[in-house]
A = this chain, B = another copy of it.
Amino acid sequence: MTPQGELPGRSIPYYLRSGEGERYLVGGFVACLMARGIDTDNLYEWMVLTGGKGALLPSHTHSQTHEVIFVLDGEIDLWLSGQHYRMIKGDFASIPPGTTHAFRMQSHHTQLMSMNSGHQMTALYKTLGKPYAGYVQPSDNISALDPAALKQAEKAADIHFDGKPLPEGNAQRVVNAQLPKSVVPYVLAAGEGDHYTIADQLFGILCDNATTNGKLLVVTCEGPAGPMIGKHFHMKHSETFFCLDGQLRMVSNQVVLDVYPGDIVTLPAGTIHAYQHLKPYTHHVGLLTPSIFELFFRSQAPSTQHVYPQQPTGGLNASRFAELDIVPLERPGPPPSPRH
């Protein structure tokens, strides 16, 4: 692992604490790059955007990058392919290549994550913004984005600004609860998605192979304090964990880390890892890319509930492990002997 607080510049396991990363002030928000293409073997990029009321990114499209957004704090308005949504913590949006979108922050402390396939978004924030030592916007006064910088960003990154105005009027609160079956833009309300349980943990799939063309599998997990899961690794896909609520303990090769809200842990393919929930309501989100591990979650017990179970509802279903990109290093002990 690299020293705390530093991006490694190559694809090795690392972690950053809340606020750490390469930061740029982009108009009225701070873009904190927590994973750049160079840190992920060009698989994905992970930004946390923090800003005040009125900070925005104007209407644009990406031609190759699949972006997903997950709100962390405050409210944002998202214009997505002709719709205008109001989003709060836990709300999610999937933005396939070619989709027109824009956002505007609506709260004094607004924060969202932007997770992107590929490696072309780092250049966007570098070009649009200025290096910034702070962690929150400098004041309520929003600097307009420089039109020349927008042009420059179009040359440097996978982005096209279309100059379309952002229609005002009543934004719809996000209410959708269903994943579509194909690569189309959509939103999900906080706590929605396709749910599965393992023991006392509730998993929620927010996007998958079908909705991202195999690029991004985003899964939330919530549960009470419990034991460490078994150590394992993956040969072909990378996993990145971000703590939303509570506290995780994570194993990453030889390192044991306590992970708090806002902290990120990257686990490139080959990293031995495991996690444990330490608080009564621990909630994290993982990005798995490419999204080949979907069947792992789909093999578990489906749940119609939106809260973690009070009693474990059955353990891990490992019956299809042979088909999966997983190498378990620890197995549970034998089941208790039958009584005689």
Which A residues contact B (CB, under 8 angstroms)? 17-20, 50, 52-53, 73-75, 88-90, 107-109, 134-140, 189-192, 222, 224, 245-247, 260-262, 279-281, 283, 304-308, 310
Contact = CB atoms under 8 A, between A and B. Distances in A.
A152 to B, nearest CB: 26
Given A73-B89, A108-B307, A138-B307, 17 more contacts: A18-B281, A19-B279, A19-B281, A88-B89, A90-B107, A108-B190, A108-B191, A108-B306, A109-B190, A135-B224, A136-B280, A140-B304, A140-B307, A245-B261, A247-B260, A260-B260, A262-B279
A195 B176 CA distance: 37
A17 to B, nearest CB: 7
B140 A305 contact: yes
Closest 6 CB pairs of A and B: A108-B191, A19-B280, A135-B280, A108-B306, A138-B310, A134-B310
Contact of A89 (B50, B89, B136): B89
A191 B136 contact: no
A190 B135 contact: no
SS class of chain A's interface: helix, strand, loop or mixed? loop
B18 A306 contact: no
Contacts of A261: 245, 261
Contact of A17 (B73, B245, B279, B308): B279
A336 to B, nearest CB: 24
Contacts of A279: 17-19, 262
A189 to B, nearest CB: 8
Nearest to A23: B280
Contacts of A139: 305, 307
Nearest to A261: B261
A319 to B, nearest CB: 27
A105 to B, nearest CB: 12
Nearest to A171: B173
Most buried by B among A50, A246, A281, A283: A281
Contacts of A137: 307
Contacts of A247: 260
A221 to B, nearest CB: 13
Contacts of A191: 107-109
A149 B307 CA distance: 26
